[in-house]
């Protein structure tokens, strides 16, 4: 029989201590190459969360839960059951013994000291789905091991070189942003729905929608295909399929706005903020900028970034933000001038394209012409 006691050099709640003990016990049994394990725990909360009968709502405990579930997956058979504290007398005696005798360490009894919580000692990946596309890249970056089912290792290595990890999260090197936060399937669906609902009715195309969310700082492998599919299956967009899908033309098309508002009937006034929000946060093809940036000198923080924070939200520093904001305000007028130049250039390009299709005709005084009545 082997016994182990824990001593923490950090403050921990009762639930946190219970998880630390469970994780330490799991590691100890794995060191002994145990394949079948029965765990007795006097914390009903921990037992029910491990069994999946209780939800793990606390973010701190969720990180412990992820570590424990990862260790449990390495056993062939695992059972955890709840025991009342009065039946756990031996454990209580063991904890008191080791706290009074710092040098207690025998072949049967070992003493483990934790200077930091387990969630800080390990890089934890907040992955909730086994089929998450991010898992192979995270494992390769952390361990250098290529997935066994990968048919093209060289291609996988090439793709993996585009990714990196920050605080256990997967990010992709980008051009619009230095790092794009990689989303799971569920997170991507939430982000796509929120961005799409803001612009649905103005009939922005799938590629424009994908570009819009990339500028926000998110990424997932099938984002453009997902957006195109969403546009194709949208009843509202199919209803007005004859309307051009080019963003700048649509956003300036009062007819598109009129149709969206007329469908709303009596609540049309409540949809005006949504239309203005969509317009102000969408890049215009004539200027290459969003109206919001041209007015305020910076891009807007959309609501989805609060639910799924990007780096600019996570690494927010007030003093640095104030300095950066002042610098952007100094350059705001120059940005507006550049946007005006681009707009004039686009108009000249459109004029040249139109004139190429025009057949010139000249008339002299007295020439007969047909007049439609």
Q: Are 80 and 39 in contact (CB under 8 A)?
A: yes
- 276-294 pLDDT, tens digit each: 877 787 778 788 888 888 8
Arithmetic mean of pLDDT, 65-90: 83
In this structure, what are the phi and psi dihedrals at residue 103, rounded to the nearest 5 degrees?
-90, 5
Give pTM, 2 decimals: 0.42
Say which range, 131-135, 162-166, 252-256, 366-370, has the weakest mean pLDDT: 252-256
- Enumerate domains of the chain plus CATH numbers: 3-121 (3.30.420.10), 134-170 (no CATH), 179-318 (no CATH)
Q: Please give the pLDDT value at position 79.
A: 92
Cα(106)–Cα(293) distance, integer angstroms:
67
**Residues ≥6 apart with Cβ < 8 Å to 346:** 285, 286
Taking Cα atoms as reference points, which of 251, 142, 148, 145 lies closest to residue 201?
A: 251
| Model pLDDT for residues 290-305, shown as the tens digit of each residue | 888 888 888 877 777 7
Q: For residue 53, count other CB atoms closer than 10 A to its CB.
A: 8
By CB neighbour count within 10 A (0-12 exposed, 13-18 middle, 19+ buried), where does 291 fall? middle
Instruction: Kindly report, residue by residue over 213-251, the tens digit of the pLDDT.
Output: 766 778 888 877 777 777 666 655 554 444 444 444 444
Task: Identify the pLDDT of residue 123.
Answer: 46
Higher pLDDT, 18 or 228: 18
Collapsing DSSP to helix, strand or coil, 319 comes out as: helix
Q: What is the DSSP letter of 145?
A: P
**Could you give the CA distance from residue 218 to residue 299 in angstroms, rounded to a whole number?**
15
């Amino acid at each position: 029989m082997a016994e182990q006691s824990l001593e923490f050099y950090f403050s921990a709640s009762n639930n946190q201590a219970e998880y630390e003990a469970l994780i330490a016990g799991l590691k100890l049994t794995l060191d002994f190459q145990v394949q079948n394990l029965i765990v007795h725990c006097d914390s009903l909360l921990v037992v029910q969360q491990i069994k999946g009968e209780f939800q793990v709502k606390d973010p701190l405990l969720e990180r412990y839960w992820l570590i424990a579930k990862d260790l449990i997956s390495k056993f062939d058979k695992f059972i955890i059951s709840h025991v009342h504290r009065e039946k756990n007398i031996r454990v209580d005696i063991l904890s008191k013994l080791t706290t009074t005798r710092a040098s207690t360490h025998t072949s049967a009894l070992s003493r483990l000291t934790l200077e930091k919580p387990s969630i800080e000692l390990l890089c934890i990946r907040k992955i909730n789905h086994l089929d998450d596309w991010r898992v192979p890249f995270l494992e390769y970056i952390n361990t250098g091991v290529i997935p066994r089912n990968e048919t093209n290792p060289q291609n996988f290595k090439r793709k993996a070189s585009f990714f990196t990890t920050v605080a256990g999260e997967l990010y992709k090197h980008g051009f619009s942003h230095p790092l794009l936060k990689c989303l799971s399937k569920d997170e991507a669906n939430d982000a796509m729905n929120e961005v799409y609902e803001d612009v649905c009715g103005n009939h922005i195309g799938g590629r424009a929608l994908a570009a819009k969310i990339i500028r926000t700082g998110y990424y997932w492998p099938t984002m453009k295909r997902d957006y195109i599919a969403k546009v194709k299956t949208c009843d509202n967009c199919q209803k007005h399929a004859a309307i051009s899908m080019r963003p700048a033309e649509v956003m300036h098309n009062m007819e598109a706005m009129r149709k969206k508002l007329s469908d709303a009937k009596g609540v049309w006034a409540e949809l005006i903020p949504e239309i203005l929000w969509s317009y102000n946060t969408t890049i215009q093809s004539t200027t290459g900028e969003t109206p919001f940036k041209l007015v305020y000198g910076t891009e807007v923080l959309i609501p989805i970034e609060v639910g799924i924070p990007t780096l600019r939200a996570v690494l927010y520093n007030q003093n640095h933000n104030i300095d950066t904001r002042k610098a952007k305000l100094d350059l705001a007028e120059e940005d507006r001038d550049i946007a005006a130049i681009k707009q004039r250039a686009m108009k000249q390009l459109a004029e040249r394209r139109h004139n190429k299709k025009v057949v010139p005709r000249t008339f002299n005084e007295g020439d007969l012409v047909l007049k439609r009545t």
